[in-house]
Structure formats: structure tokens, C-alpha cells
Amino acid sequence: MGEAAGVRRAGSPEETGLDARRRRHRRRIVSSELALSAAFALAALHGLAERDELASVSVFVAGWALNLLVLALCCSLPWSRIPGRWVILVPLTDFVAIGLSRSAAGESIPSFGLLAAFPVVWIAASRVRTGTAVAVAAVASLAMVWLPLALAAESLTFDALIDQILLPVMLAGLAWFVSEISDDNRRRQEALRASQAALRESMEVGRARERLLGTVLDTVSVGLLAVDADGHDVLMNAGQHVAHAAAAPPGNDDPNEAELLIFGADRLTPVPPDERPVARAIRGEDLDAEQIWVGTGRSQRAFSISSHAMHDDDGTFAGTVVSFTDVTELLLALQAKDDFLSNVSHEFRTPLTTILGYLELTLERRQDLPGDVADQLDVARRNAVRLERLVEDLLAINAGSFRVDPVPADVGRVLAEATSSSRVRASRAGLRLVNRAPSSLPAVVDPVRLGQAVDNLLTNAVKYNRPGGSITLDAHRSEKGLVIEVEDTGIGIESEDLHQIFDRFFRSPSVRTSAVPGVGLGLLITRTIVGEHRGSISVTSERGKGTCFTILIPQPAPAPDGQ
Ligand code: ADP
């Protein structure tokens, strides 16, 4: 069975705190009364020394005895069970005790009057309001000084009453003063307690957040490292410990940064310490999915590293957060896919070459064939050529480069040939294809590869167009080099897809669901060919309006004599 709600466990912190408060409360009552009793005893002894007959004055003795009785009660009563407001009875009874002894001792022992300051201070320092404290002090002390006069009726004169007024006035003033100071003190203490409670609460919230953050950081599989502006690690989660351990040389559990085994994309070339992603992130660089390999041999792992610099309110660099994502499986899977594509392409190439060879041989004897058979063989040959080209592209892409051989050539002719081979397809699709390039445009390029690149762009401009649309091919020489533009009025490309269209096998989602054929290699091949010419290709597009690709190939400066 579970413990009943609200039952305090022995030794629990709240019990200890409550007991301590009770003990303090009791100690305050006893020590206050003890102080008065000590002073009372001194005053009484002084009185007895001055007037030894006081020992036989019953009122005097009764006052002292009452004080001692109150002291005894203070020491023995269970204060924790008595409501706090009853405590005021103690100083009030003290007034009576002092009043009795003072009335017997008379003016000759003035210290008895001063004893009244004790209960006055007690009342004023308790939680009663200043007005109440002053009123109680005034009434009690007036009673103390006037009652004896009233009891001895012969001395009750107006002058006698006025003579005695000084002490009550002083005691009322003291009550006011002490009450104000106590109030002020209490307010300060309450404010202090409130701010301590707020501090405790915010520390507790902070600790809870820290625990949550720690758990989240250790739960995610991504390694995270936070570094301050001086490059010191301020946070490293469990994932990052794993990444760090993977980079440690065998047998070295605590390597320094320079000793870590970090390699580039080829898995072999070490990355110099100051060019490593973490070093660059610490210098304030923001990294976006940089790839490195760590460790060696079969345990080598690949990490994709990103970082984001932190800045103070005034923009000063305050450190950086670096994330490490283990992409080993992904890269190995991509590698396996490339190997598979490459192997399959090789296996396709030989039978395809044979098929094409025999088709071409057969079509050379077209006149011997019935008309419809020749047409069917033409279709077979066209598709076999397409397949052969795809296989060649896959092999070239897998090899990572297209060998280009730039020579002085007439780009005007290259573009005219590319236009004429696309014209049939364009007109079949109901498109207008215009070649605005000059018929002769000398430049240093690989004419075959450039023709292939332009052909890819024209093919796309036809494929991703709409009936009635147009395609414009243009070219010129500028200060920067040879510029070729292929513009269409087709379906356009979504802006969020633009940065991916040159990626391997990328096809925009709308195209993927359409019947337009393609495998997503044409633009990659085009960009690779342009890149091999040390050129660049850019694209602008608007969804539903059209697309424009621009190729720029730098050209050698013309000879000084213009030849
Ligand atoms: P493929 O045409 O075989 O799909 P590409 O690499 O040539 O592959 O093109 C990649 C993707 O870029 C295409 O699938 C298409 O979504 C988009 N794209 C290329 N050219 C155009 C264009 N002229 N108009 C609209 N989208 C295009």
C-alpha cells in the first residue's frame, strides 16, 4: 500500500524545518522572559538592599513571585500547541508583576519603572500593528503607574496623576519606535525570503532544464559539440564521444587534435589540422554538411559535419555548435549503388554493341527488305542507340569525368547541327525552335562534347515544353568567353528544386509523375562537360513561364595582332 497523501515522512526536510522553527519560537519566549526575570531580580535585590522591609511587603513579593511564575510557565508550556496570539499574555502579565513590585517599592527604586521597557519592547516587536502596540504600551504602563494611586485614594490628585505620566509617554514612544523598526525588519526579511524562494525556484527550473537538455542530447544519435569563443569545449554529448573515439589512433585513448585520424573524401588523404571542420568552425565558419572519414581500416566511419556560429547581442563571436552525423551506411550504400550501375552498364554494353551492329548491317540492305520491316528495324535501331547512349552516360558519370579535348572549332556549326537534330522532335511536339546564334562563331571547345551538352539542353527544352511553345538558342562571345543560351517557354522549374536539378538522378516531383521519359542524368552530364571546359552553367526559371540555361566557357585571349 502506498503512503497516505499528506503524511510527512520522519526526518523529511519539511519536518526538520518545522521542528527548527518551533524550537526557535520557544527559545525566543524563554530567553525574553529570562532577560526580564534577571533584570527583575537585580531591581528587587537593589530594592531590598535599599529598604530591607520590602521583604515583608506582600505586594512586592507577589510581583516578584508572579514574574518567576511566568518564567516557569514560559519554560514549561508546550508553545508549539498554543496559538501564537496567546503569547502576548506573557508580556501583559509581566506588566502586572512589575506594576505590583513597583507600587510597593515606590519612587525610591526607579529601576522598577524601567523594567516595563521589557514587555513594551516584547509587544512592539511582536506582529501586532504599531497603533495597537502603542495603545497597549500606553494603557498597560498608565495602569501600572496610576493603579497604585487609585488604590491609595488619598494620593489620587490631578497633580499626582500628571507627575506619573512621563513614564507611560516614554514607554508608548518606545513601543512606537520598536514597532516601526520591527515592521521594517520584517518587511525586509519577507522580501529577502521571497527573493530567496524565487532564486531557489529558478535554480530548480534551471536544473530541470539542464537535466532535460542532457537527456535529449544523449538520446539523439547525432554527435554534438559546443565550443566557446576561445575554442574550449563546453558541451559534448554521448554521440560526439563516439565520433571522437572513432578518430583516435589505435592504442591512444586520449589523442590531441593533431593526432586524430581524419581523412578527405577519398578516405586516404589526411586533412591538415587547421583545415579540419572543427578547426574551421572554431574560427567562426558556418559549415554545411562537410564530409570526412575518421579512423582507418574496417572501422573507418564517415561523418557529415555542420556548424553554426553563436554571437552575443553585440555581434561578437561567442562560440559555435558543431554536429556530427554518421553517414557511413549511406555512403557505403551509395557506393554499392554506383558499383552496381557500373557493372550492369558494362554488362549491357557488349550485347548492345552487337545488336546495333547487326541492325545497321541489316538496314544497309534496306532495298532488300519489305518497307514495313525496314521501318520497324529503324525504330529498333533508334531505341538501341538511345539505350547505348544511356549506358555510355552511366559509365561516364560513374567514372566521374568526361574527357574533353578543346580545339579551335566553329561553334556556329556545332549549334546548327544540334538545332537540326532537335528540330524534328520540336516540330513533332508542336514547338517552334529558333537558332539565333551566328552561323560562324569561332571558339576553343571540344565540338563533340559541346554538341552533346547543347543537345541535352535542347532535348530538355522540348521534353519540358507545352504545345505552341518555343525554344530559342543563342550564342555570342563576351569579355568573359563564349556564352550559349537555351531558353524555352515550357513548364518551368519550382524555385525549391532549382538547386538540385544538376544532382545525379534528380527529376522534379511534377516531372516524375508525368509520362516524360528521363533518368535525371542529362543536366549532370552537361554540367560536367562545361566544367571540364573550366566553364560554368547557370539557370533561371519561373514555374509555368519557362526556363533559361546559360553556358559560359572562358576563352583564351586573342593574339595581340588580332590573328
Ligand atoms: P531528365 O531530363 O532525364 O529527367 P535532366 O538531368 O536532364 O534529367 O534534368 C533533370 C530535371 O530537371 C528534369 O527531370 C526536370 O525536372 C528538370 N528540367 C531540366 N530541364 C528543364 C527545362 N528546360 N524545363 C523544366 N524542367 C527542366
What is the identity of the amino acid at 35?
A
pLDDT value at 79 more than 70: yes
Between the alpha carbon of residue 137 and those of residues 111, 181, 244, 279, 344, the distances in Å are 18, 16, 77, 77, 108
Tell the residue nearest (CA) to atom 11 of ligand 1: 507
Cell 521571497 found at:
194
Q: Give a yes or no: residue 384 inside a domain.
A: yes
Is the pLDDT reported for residue 510 higher than 60?
Answer: yes
The overall average pLDDT reported for the chain is 88
Distance CA 37, CA 71 (A): 7
pLDDT 10s digits, 359-401: 999 999 989 988 789 989 988 998 898 788 888 878 887 776 6
> Which has the higher per-residue pLDDT, 421 or 550?
550
- Under 8 Å between Cβ of 470 and 433: yes
Output the pLDDT for position 148: 76
Report which DSSP code applies to 442: E
Listed residue (322, 247, 248) closest to 283, CA to CA? 322
Non-local (6+) Cβ contacts of 113 within 8 A are 102, 145, 167
Using the 3D structure, point to which of 349, 378, 399 is the last residue of a domain.
399
Q: What is the DSSP string of 304-335?
A: EEEEEEEE-TT--EEEEEEEEEE-HHHHHHHH
Regarding whether 311 and 188 lie in a shared domain, the answer is: no
The pLDDT, as a whole number, for residue 560 is 59
Confirm whether 49 is domain-assigned: yes
The whole-number average pLDDT for the span 497-525 is: 89
Taking the centre of ligand 1 as the mean of its atom positions, its distance from the CA of residue 497, in whole angstroms, is 10
Q: What type of residue is 175?
A: A
Q: Which residue has the least CA distance to atom 12 on ligand 1? A: 501
Name which of 403, 408, 409, 414 is nearest 529 in CA terms: 403
User: Nearest 5 degrees, angle CA 513-CA 515-CA 518?
Assistant: 90
pLDDT, tens digit, 9 for 90 and up, residues 323-344: 999 999 999 998 898 888 888 8
CATH classification at residue 422: 3.30.565.10
Distance 433 CA to ligand 1 centre (A): 18
Could you read off the pLDDT of 100-141 as tens digits, one per residue? 888 888 767 778 888 999 999 999 988 888 999 999 889 988
Contact 414, 437 (CB under 8 A): no
Cα gap 118→98, rounded to integer Å: 10
- Do 243 and 101 lie in one domain? The reply is no
Distance CA 231, CA 279 (A): 9
Residue 215 lies in a domain: no
| Domain match, 378 and 521 both | no
SS3 of 203-217:
HHHHHHHHHHHHHHH
The answer to whether residues 508 and 490 touch, using CB atoms and an 8 Å cutoff, is no
Structure letter (DSSP) for residue 270? B
Same domain, 505 and 433: yes
**Whether 394 and 321 share a structural domain:** no
CA distance 519 to 504: 9
| 279 contacts 271 by C-beta, under 8 angstroms | no
Contacts of 221 (CB under 8 A, 6+ apart): 239, 326
Average pLDDT in the 140-158 region? 76
CATH number of the structural domain spanning residue 316: 3.30.450.20
**Nearest alpha carbon to residue 418 among 551, 546, 534, 547:** 551
Domain-embedded: residue 511: yes
Question: pLDDT tens, 278-310?
Answer: 899 999 899 999 999 999 888 899 999 999 999
Q: What is the rounded distance in angstroms from the CA atom of residue 435 to the CA atom of residue 461?
A: 13
Compute the distance from residue 457 Cα to the ligand 1 centre, in Å. Answer: 9
For a mutational test of ligand 1's pocket, the pick from 431, 507, 529, 537, i.e. the residue with the most ligand atoms closer than 8 A to its C-beta, is 507
pLDDT computed for residue 199 by the predictor: 95
Mutate to test the pocket of ligand 1, among 394, 488, 511, 529 (most ligand atoms within 8 A of CB): 511
- Residue 522 in any domain: the answer is yes
Q: Give the distance (Å) from ligand 1 centre to CA of residue 523.
A: 7
Residue 439, domain member (yes or no): yes
Nearest Cα to Cα of residue 112 among 91, 134, 122, 97? 97
* Percent of residues, the chain, with pLDDT higher than 70: 94
Q: Is residue 199 part of a domain?
A: no
Full residue range of the structural domain in which residue 343 is found: 338-399
C-alpha cell at 320: 559555435
Residue 422 Cα to ligand 1 middle (Å): 16
Based on the fold, state whether residues 162 and 80 are members of the same structural domain: yes
87: nearest Cα among 166, 32, 164: 32
Distance from CA of residue 508 to its chain's centroid? 34
Looking at the structure, tell me whether residues 105 and 163 fall in a common domain.
Answer: yes
The band of 74, judged by pLDDT with boundaries at 50, 70 and 90, is very high
Same domain, 344 and 461: no
Are 45 and 189 contained in the same domain?
yes
Question: What does residue 403 show for φ and ψ, rounded to 5 degrees?
Answer: -70, 125
Distance in Å, CA 313 to ligand 1 centroid? 45
Ligand 1 site residues, Cβ closer than 6 angstroms: 456, 460-461, 464, 488, 490-493, 501, 506-508, 511, 518-524, 547
- Give the separation between CA 550 and CA 39, rounded to whole angstroms: 106
Identify the pLDDT of residue 513: 81
Average pLDDT over residues 3-19: 54
- Provide CB contacts within 8 A for 466, sequence distance 6+: 489, 490, 491
Write down the pLDDT at residue 244. Answer: 87
Atom of ligand 1 nearest to the CA of 508: 16
Tally of CB atoms within 10 A around 213: 12
CA distance 69 to 32: 14
Task: Report pLDDT digits (tens) over 530-562.
Answer: 999 999 999 999 999 999 999 999 999 765 554
The domain boundary, picked from 399, 415, 442, lies at: 399
| Residue in 440, 439, 445, 472 with CA at minimum distance from that of residue 458 | 472
Among 47-56, 63-72, 306-315, 322-331, the minimum mean pLDDT is found in 47-56
What distance in angstroms lies between residue 100's CA and the mean position of ligand 1's atoms? 112
Is residue 514 domain-shared with residue 469, that is, in the same domain?
Answer: yes
Judgement on whether residues 104 and 177 belong to the same structural domain of the protein: yes
The candidate with the shortest Cα–Cα distance to 490, out of 517, 510, 461, is 461
Measured between alpha carbons, how far is 386 from 378 in angstroms, rounded to an integer?
12
What atom of ligand 1 comes closest to residue 510's alpha carbon? 16
Task: Give the Cα separation of 399 and 382 in Å (integer).
Answer: 26
Please report whether residue 376 resides in a domain: yes
Mean pLDDT of 164-170: 85
User: Which residues lie below 8 Å from residue 24, measured CB to CB, with a gap of 6+?
Assistant: none
Q: End of a domain among 326, 352, 375?
A: 326
For residue 172, what are the contacts with CB-CB under 8 A and spacing of at least 6? Answer: 134, 137, 138, 141
| Most trustworthy range by pLDDT among 36-50, 429-443, 517-531 | 429-443
Residues 447, 484: one domain? yes
What integer pLDDT is reported at residue 91 of this predicted model?
Answer: 92
- Provide DSSP, 521-533: -HHHHHHHHHHHT
Whether residue 144 is predicted with pLDDT greater than 90 in this model: the reply is no
Give the number of domains in the chain.
4
